[in-house]
Amino acid sequence: MFSHERIWAALDALAEQNQLSPSGLARQSGLDATSFNKSKRVINANRLRWPSTESISKALQSTNTSIAEFLNYVEGREPGELQMRSLPGGEKIPLLGMAQAGVGGYFDDSGFPVGQGWEQIDFPKGEHDSIYALEVSGDSMLPLYRNGDILVVAPNAGIRIGDRVVVKTLEGEVMAKILQHKTDKKIVLLSLNEEHENRSFEMNELEWMARIVWASQ
């Protein structure tokens, strides 16, 4: 809830997370040192003073903090804490950069999200019970997927030839391709970008494969 108390509590939490006092956060953000002082949050006979959107923006920029992370502070959640909760007409699903996805600790053996570091995005409810999102980085998936596009994948969804999939190898490589051929022992993946070669893997070289069910473009 965007209350006066929660907004200021979020700025205090942001300062503490970066080992700063409210004054230190203000100075680091290029603001007057007293901008975030507790004594200035109520003025003129109990009139509430709110931080400006500009000052919040500068504080986020100076600490390299995303809007999603700041909203975690507003809602009283710990940094990196993942909460799955339904919303009217949709639900929150986990979001992770594809570059991060190659690092251990973010998935279980079945390809489901675990651990810390996930952000969240809204996604309409549908037929898939377990879904999460990956953010595209780089240009290897052009022209279909651009840098910053969001891919929503469903580990439980059935996969057929011609489906767009995200694959993670045991070596930690994560890629989005088109499933061109599949047997019990091997898969062949068609690259989305003609400048990148097609790939083939033995099934025992894969950690998991999940179908892309939605993409933001």
Residues 143-192 pLDDT 10s: 888 888 888 888 888 899 999 999 999 988 888 899 999 999 999 999 98
Give the chain's radius of gyration (CA, Å).
22
pLDDT at 72 over 80: no
Q: How far apart are CA 23 and CA 35, in angstroms?
A: 7
81 vs 61, more confident: 61
> How far from 195 is each of 93, 155, 177, 212, 217, CA to CA, in Å?
32, 28, 13, 22, 21
Q: How far apart are CA 111 and CA 89, in angstroms?
A: 26
Mean pLDDT of all residues belonging to the chain: 80
Q: How far apart are CA 171 and CA 68, in angstroms?
A: 30
For position 29, what pLDDT does the model report?
Answer: 93
Q: Please enumerate in sequence order all residues whose Cβ is within 8 A of that of 148, keeping only pairs 6 or more positions apart, or say none.
A: 135, 136, 137
Domain ranges of the chain: 4-74, 92-215
Minimal CA–CA distance to 136: which of 101, 85, 93, 171? 101
Residue 120 confidence class, pLDDT cut points 50, 70, 90: confident
Q: Please enumerate in sequence order all residues whose Cβ is within 8 A of that of 210, keeping only pairs 6 or more positions apart, or say none.
A: 111, 153, 154, 155, 157, 165, 166
- Pairing outcome for strands 90-97 and 132-135: parallel
Q: Is the dihedral of CA 99, 103, 109, 114 positive or negative?
A: negative
**What CATH number does domain 4-74 carry, 1.10.1040.50, 1.50.10.150, 3.40.50.10320, 1.10.260.40?**
1.10.260.40
Domain with residues 92-215, CATH architecture: Ribbon (2.10)
Q: How far apart are the first and last CA of the chain?
A: 30
Count CA atoms closer than 13 A to 102's CA, side-chain side: 11
For position 124, what pLDDT does the model report?
Answer: 52
